[in-house]
Amino acid sequence: MIEFLAKGGVLVYPIILCSVLALAIFLERMICFARLRIRGYGLVQKIARHVKNGEDQQAYELASTSNTPMGRILVNAMEVKDQDRETLETVIVHATDEEVRDLSRYLQALATIGNIAPLLGLLGTVLGMIKAFMVIQQMGGKVNAAVLAGGIWEAMLTTALGLAVALPTIVAHSYLIARVDKYEAQLQDGTVTFIKALGRRS
């Protein structure tokens, strides 16, 4: 298989590197998201219950020890909960934006890989075609169909490989973006629940 791919030329190697990086980013984000779901289960409801009962210290300790985006946002919120509503909302929005940026880590790199992989493949094909036509010129115009066909399929190999890397990478990027959007919506719902709990303190 390695010998077969090597026929595509030197640009096969950066395309393979792109595939390895894309897979590593996808797996790292999936593991990160899986941990968030386990750690953050029911966190907002527990904190809101403490807040409504006036148990601010317990709520703060629970949020600060959760090691989750929602927990970190609520820690920031509870530090300014006694200030005016505008300040509280500003702090919550800022903290939420920071957590969403952290959740989106490496996704831009994944999008870049999805964009450049087919371009690398196309460049490899163009270089391969140039090489094939140079061989034809050296043969003095006496075209050997077998030589020409061999040069063309080897040139097309990089395009096929680039597309094979780009397609799943783009799908993975879209999936991860959807997951980030879902988590962002959950964070916003959680902060709304927290603010409502502040208004119902006993």
Q: What are phi and psi of 82, to 5 degrees?
A: -90, 0
Dist CA 50 CA 53 (whole Å): 5
Under the banding of pLDDT at 50, 70 and 90, the label for residue 196 is confident
When pLDDT is averaged across residues 137-153 and rounded to a whole number, the result is 67
Question: DSSP readout, 130-141?
Answer: HHHHHHHHHTTT
Please state, for a pLDDT cut of 90, what percent of the chain lies above it: 43
When pLDDT is averaged across residues 15-39 and rounded to a whole number, the result is 89
pLDDT value of position 39: 62
**Mean pLDDT, the chain, integer:** 86
More confident residue, 132 or 143: 132
pLDDT value of position 21: 96
More confident residue, 173 or 134: 173
Q: Domain extents for the chain?
A: 2-197
List, for residues 38-94, the tens digit of each pLDDT value: 666 688 888 888 888 888 889 889 888 888 899 999 999 998 888 888 899 999 999
> The tokens of 113 are what?
């890989």
Question: Pick from 17, 12, 23: which is nearest to 4 by CA?
Answer: 12
Under the banding of pLDDT at 50, 70 and 90, the label for residue 3 is low
pTM, full prediction: 0.83
Dist CA 174 CA 111 (whole Å): 9
> The tokens of 152 are what?
């063309």
Query: Highest mean pLDDT range out of 72-76, 156-160, 168-172, 190-194?
Result: 168-172
> The tokens of 146 are what?
């077998």
pLDDT value of position 14: 92
pLDDT value of position 163: 94
